[in-house]
Amino acid sequence: MHHAVSSQDGNLFIERTSLAAVASQFGTPCYVYSKAAISDNFLAYQSALAEKEHLICYAVKANSNIAVLQTLAQLGAGFDIVSIGELERVLRAGGDPAKVVFSGVAKTASEMQRALELGIHCFNVESEAELELLNSTAVSCDAIAAVSLRVNPDVDAQTHPYISTGLKENKFGIDINLAAQVYQRAAQMANIKVVGVDCHIGSQLVDIAPFVAALERLLALVDELAELGITLQHIDIGGGLGVRYDNEQPPTPQSYMSAILPLLKDRSETLVLEPGRSITANAGVMLTQVQYLKSNGEKNFAIVDAAMNDMIRPALYQAWMDIQPITTGSAESAVYDVVGPVCETGDFLAKDRSLAISAGDYLCLMSAGAYGFVMSSNYNSRPRAPEVIVDGDQMHLVRRRETIADLLSGESLLPSTVVET
């Protein structure tokens, strides 16, 4: 997949824009995305599916900035959402609700109502209880809800346990062995229209075999349903294609589809995909500045101005992310842990990295375009970072840095009380 960063004469660039120029204009920490990389990564899926009726629904959770969504909407993307907030973002970005699939285990009646009003493509229903609520909500709205059941194929995605979602012990979906009876129940409901089947077995998968195994189980279910008189319009195989953070060798969309499409060659159902990470992760970076270099005799620390509240993946998932100076300097190389200002031992971006750096230098955390800003928080009352999209030699601020006023804007003091003496 397209890696957004290139090196020219010892300086790092995104497209034709130097990262030093971005850091100087917008400060740090700061997220920077490449418009070309986002587009190229999406179009890699489009071209891999040129011969197959398809709908590519970008997983908004991976990076939900409205300018990122706008870039994808203009290329014809659909969207996979998991909340009404994500749906409203898609609308603001110019996305088509008729290309939206609504996933998630805990949809509320008000969320269902809004999605029905807008005429989304379908609801990915995760349980019988949700199906009942969706039907009664659709009745009250005088609407028909298009439904795809998310089944759990019990396939081991061989990824981090927090992002493995297709095993029996996970909270997601309906046991594939019980799915046929839930489909029959759905088919009898007055305001439900059964349109598809879906699964999502995990995230950051670097092997095609689990995808193939899951699809084979889905197709056996599709055939079982056809015998019961239930025909489906689409098969949704979710997302989860991994990216290269270190030395992983994930399949390209082309090689992934080359393994999947032969299984579908005699089938008329539309193929739906929900890629997220593979579109945005390597289209973005996070910039940070070294505040202090510190040694305790055993370890060297590079203390930077970005923290776990800005990028939680290393702390939460023990994720390895590459980090490089944005300009090659003359400092001597040493092995550092790159740590942030937050008061937790778990506040680190990288451990045991050989870096030639001095205080004041800017660093670039690679592959930060997915599950970066979207998972950031205000822990330690830290304002969240700005987001910038680079388009050739143009820099566009698509989210300004938060201010202290932003942090306090929703809060209020208790009414003052007079203490009688």
Token code pair at residue 348:
């680190």
Closest to 58 in 3D by CA, of 99, 116, 119, 118: 99
Token code pair at residue 214:
């899951």
Residue 286, exposed/middle/buried by CB under 10 A (0-12, 13-18, 19+)?
Answer: buried
Token code pair at residue 194:
């059964």
* Whole-number Å distance between alpha carbons of 58 and 77: 7
**Contacts (Cβ under 8 Å, ≥6 apart) of 135:** 145, 189, 190, 191, 192
**Contacts (Cβ under 8 Å, ≥6 apart) of 345:** none
Neighbours of 2 (CB within 10 A): 15
Strand duo 348-356 + 333-339: pairing: antiparallel
Token code pair at residue 166:
């297709």
* Whole-number Å distance between alpha carbons of 217 and 142: 35
The length of the chain, given as a count of residues: 421
Give the residue carrying structure tokens 């025909």.
231
* Whole-number Å distance between alpha carbons of 389 and 355: 27
Catalytic residue numbers?
343
Give the residue carrying structure tokens 């289209």.
283
Q: Is 322 helix (H, G, I), strand (E, B) or coil?
A: coil
SS3 content of the chain, % helix, strand, coil (to 5): 30, 25, 40
**Contacts (Cβ under 8 Å, ≥6 apart) of 235:** 196, 197, 198, 215, 218, 219, 222, 264, 267, 269, 270, 271, 272
Q: Is 389 helix (H, G, I), strand (E, B) or coil?
A: strand
Q: What are phi and psi of 290, to 5 degrees?
A: -75, 120
Contact 151, 218 (CB under 8 A): yes
Give the residue carrying structure tokens 């609520």.
133
Contact 198, 148 (CB under 8 A): yes
